[in-house]
Amino acid sequence: MALTPEGLPAAREPGTGPGSGDTGAAGETGPGSGDTRTADAGWLRVHPGSPFVRGWVAVAALFFFFGRDSFERLLQGGPVFDERFAGRAPWLLLGGGTLLLLTVLGFVLSWYFTRYQVADGYVRVNTGFLFRQQRQARLDRVQAIDVVQPLLARIFGLAELRFEVADAGESAVHLAYLRADEARQLRATILAGASGASGASGASGGTLSPSQATEPGQPGAAAVEAPERTVLTVPPARLMGSVLLSEQGLAIVAGGVASVLLSAITENRSFTVFLIPAVIGLAASYWSSFNKGYNFTAAVSPDGIRLRYGLLDTQAQTVPPGRIQALKISQPPLWRLFGWYRIQINVAGYGLAGSAREGSHRTTLLPVGSLTDVLKLLSLVLPDPGTADPAGVFTAGINGLADPTGTRDAGAQETAARQDADGGFVTTPRRARLLAPLGWRRNGFTATETALLLRSGRWWRNLVVVPHQRTQSMALQQGPLARRFRVADLVLHTTAGPVAPRLIQVGLDEARALLDAQAARARAARKRQTSEHWMEPTTQPAQSPAPDTQEGPHHG
C-alpha cells in the first residue's frame, strides 16, 4: 500500500497557463474594480463596509447604553420617556449623536487609510490615521493563507484574508474585508506567486490586483484558482460523537461522580454547586468544537492542502506543500471504541497568532477520522514517506506495541528482530519498565528517509511525525532516575504549536546515536530543499563528459 494519493491535479508549469506573464504596472486597474480600489501608486482599498462589519459591536453598545431604559419602559407598557428625561433630552441626544458621529467617522477614516498592495515579492498593508503602521510579508515565506467569514461578513458577502508567514509571528497580515470572490482570487494570485508557478510574485516590479483580467496568458492576468480533489469529509454525527467522548467530557463525568460521592459521604450538597460553572464551560466548549468542526472538508490541489469548516463562522485554510513543521496523531481512550483519531499540526505563524481557542482549530488537520482518513492525510503531508512499507510503519506507530517477551539487552540480533516485528520501532529497554509500567512497550521511535516518527502513550496514544528538514534543534534530557536506568529523553524543537516532539525513555546509547544521526539527516534534507517555491522546476546540472576508460584516474 502506498501513501501517495492518486489523481492529483497536474502542477501548473511556470510561464504558461493562468497567472503567467508580467504583472500589471503600478496603479493599473482592470474591469470590475468597483469602489474598493484606488489609483494611488497601485495601492488598493478594502471593501467600504469593512469597518462596520468589524465595529458593529461598538454601535450596538451605544444604542444599548442610551436606549436601555426607554426599551424597558416600553416593554412594561409605560411611556417611552419619563419626566426626568424631558429636561435632559437635548443634552443626551446631543451627546449620543456626537459619540455616534465620532464612531462612524472613525470607521470611515480607518477604511480610508487602510490600503494593501501585492508587488515586488511582498504583500503590504498600511493602516492607521494618527498612528501609521505598515505590515509586509514575503510571498516566498507564506506558510498558510486563510479565508475567514464571520456570520455578519457572510451575510454581506465579505471575507477576511489572513497571511501567515514564517517571520511574522503575531504581526501576520490581515485584510478585512474584501468581497468573497476577490478574497479567493487574491489568495490564488498570491499562492501562484509564492509557488513560483508564475510571475505573480511581482519580481518585475508590477502590482497585482484581485480583479485584473483573468484571460490566461494575457499580461497582468490574475491567477485562476487551482483545481482540487476532495479527500475526505467529517460527518456531523461522527463530529458530535467525538465531542461528547472527548477529554473534557471525561473530566466532567469524573468530577460529577466525585461531587456526588462527596455529597453523599459528608451530607453536604454544596459540592454539586461547583459543577454549575463546569457544566456551562463544557457546554461552551462543546458548541465551539461543533461550530468550528462542522462540515469539515479536506482537499488537495497544487496550491497545497485545503481545509474548510464552520457552521456559523466559516473558514477556508490553504497550507502549501512542505509548510507543516510537525504533525501529531492522537487517540483519547474512549475514541478507541470507534477507531477514531485526531491530527494536529505545527505551522509557522499559527502557534503565535490569535487566541488559544482560535489557534486550536487552525492547527487541526483532522478533528476526527478513521485510520484510513489518517493515512490519506499523511499521504498529503508526506508525499514521499521514505519507506517501502508506509502503511505498516505508520500503523505500527499509531497502534503498535513492542513484543513483551523480547529484551533490548539481549543483543543486537534480538533487537533487530524486535524492530522488524514492530514496524522498525525502537522502544524503551525492558530494564526501565519500572519507570513506565504501562507505556514502556509503546514509547519508541523509528526513522524513514524523509521523517522521524516518535510514538508514546498506552491509553492516550500519540504519534508525532517530524520531517527531517524541519528539525531546528535537539536536546538530550536525563533526570536522576533516568540516569539510574540508563535512559534519556530526546526533545526536538520546531515552531510553536500544539505538537511538542519528545522521545520518552529511550536507551542512553540509542538516544546518543539518534541525536547524531538525526542531525546528519536534517542537514542533508535542508541541502536538498533548494527553494521555497514548490512549483519552481529544479535546475538539472549539466552532466560532465564521461571519463575516458582508456586512461587512468587523474590526480590533482
pLDDT value at residue 555: 41
What pLDDT, on the 0 to 100 scale, is given for residue 248?
A: 72
What integer pLDDT is reported at residue 105 of this predicted model? 85
In a domain, 171, yes or no: yes
pLDDT tens track for 314-338 = 999 998 878 899 999 999 998 999 9
Residues 136 and 252 in one domain: no
pLDDT of residue 98: 82
266 and 199 within one domain: no
The pLDDT of residue 279 is 75
Mean pLDDT over 438-465 rounds to 94
**pLDDT at position 202 over 70:** no
Q: How far apart are CA 210 and CA 223, in angstroms?
A: 9
In a domain? residue 93 = yes
Rounded distance between C-alpha atoms, residue 440 and residue 455, angstroms: 11
- pLDDT one-digit tens code per residue, 380-426: 999 899 999 999 999 999 998 887 765 444 455 555 545 555 778 99
480 pLDDT band, cuts 50/70/90, is very high
Evaluate whether residue 535 is within a structural domain.
Answer: no
Q: Among the ranges 55-59, 101-105, 296-300, which has the highest mean pLDDT value? A: 296-300
Measured at the CA of 38, the angle between CA 36 and CA 39, to 5 degrees, comes to: 150
Query: Same structural domain for residues 245 and 355?
Result: no
The cell numbers describing 346, all together, are: 505545527
Q: Are residues 362 and 279 in the same domain?
A: no
- What's the pLDDT band for 38 if we cut at 50, 70, 90? very low
In eight-state DSSP terms, residue 438 is: T
**What is the average per-residue pLDDT within 460-486?**
94
Q: Are residues 332 and 384 in the same domain?
A: yes
Please check whether residues 367 and 508 belong to one and the same domain: yes
Whether residue 255 sits in one domain with residue 223: no
Q: What is the pLDDT of residues 342-352, one digit of tens each?
A: 999 998 877 65
As given in the structure block, the three cell numbers for residue 482 are 533516568
Q: Is there a domain that residue 77 lies in?
A: yes
| Count of domains forming the chain | 4
Q: Give the other-Cβ count within 10 Å of 95's Cβ.
A: 12
What's the pLDDT at 127? 86
Looking at the fold, whether 62 and 140 belong to one and the same domain comes out as no
The answer to the question of residue 146 being in a domain is yes
Find the domain containing 173 and state its range: 117-229
**Average pLDDT score over residue span 137-164:** 87
pLDDT classification of 544: cutoffs 50, 70, 90: very low
Length of the chain counted residue by residue: 556
Q: Give a yes or no: residue 501 inside a domain.
A: yes
Q: Are residues 358 and 428 in the same domain?
A: yes
- The string of DSSP codes covering 4-50 is SPSSPPPPPPTTSSTT-SPPPPTT---TT-TTSB--STT-EE--TTH
* CA gap 420, 382 in Å, rounded: 22
Which band of pLDDT confidence, cut at 50, 70 and 90, is reported for residue 69?
low
Q: Do 219 and 203 belong to one domain?
A: yes
CA distance 518 to 530: 20
Rounded CA-CA distance 425/446 in Å is 5
Residue 8 has pLDDT above 60, yes or no: no
Domain match, 279 and 183 both: no
Output the CA angle 515-521-527, nearest 5 degrees: 140
Same domain, 240 and 381: no
Domain termination residue (choose one: 205, 229, 253)? 229
Confirm whether 219 is domain-assigned. yes
Q: What is the pTM of this model?
A: 0.77
Structure confidence at residue 534 as a pLDDT band (50, 70, 90)? low
Q: Is residue 72 part of a domain?
A: yes
Average pLDDT, the chain: 76
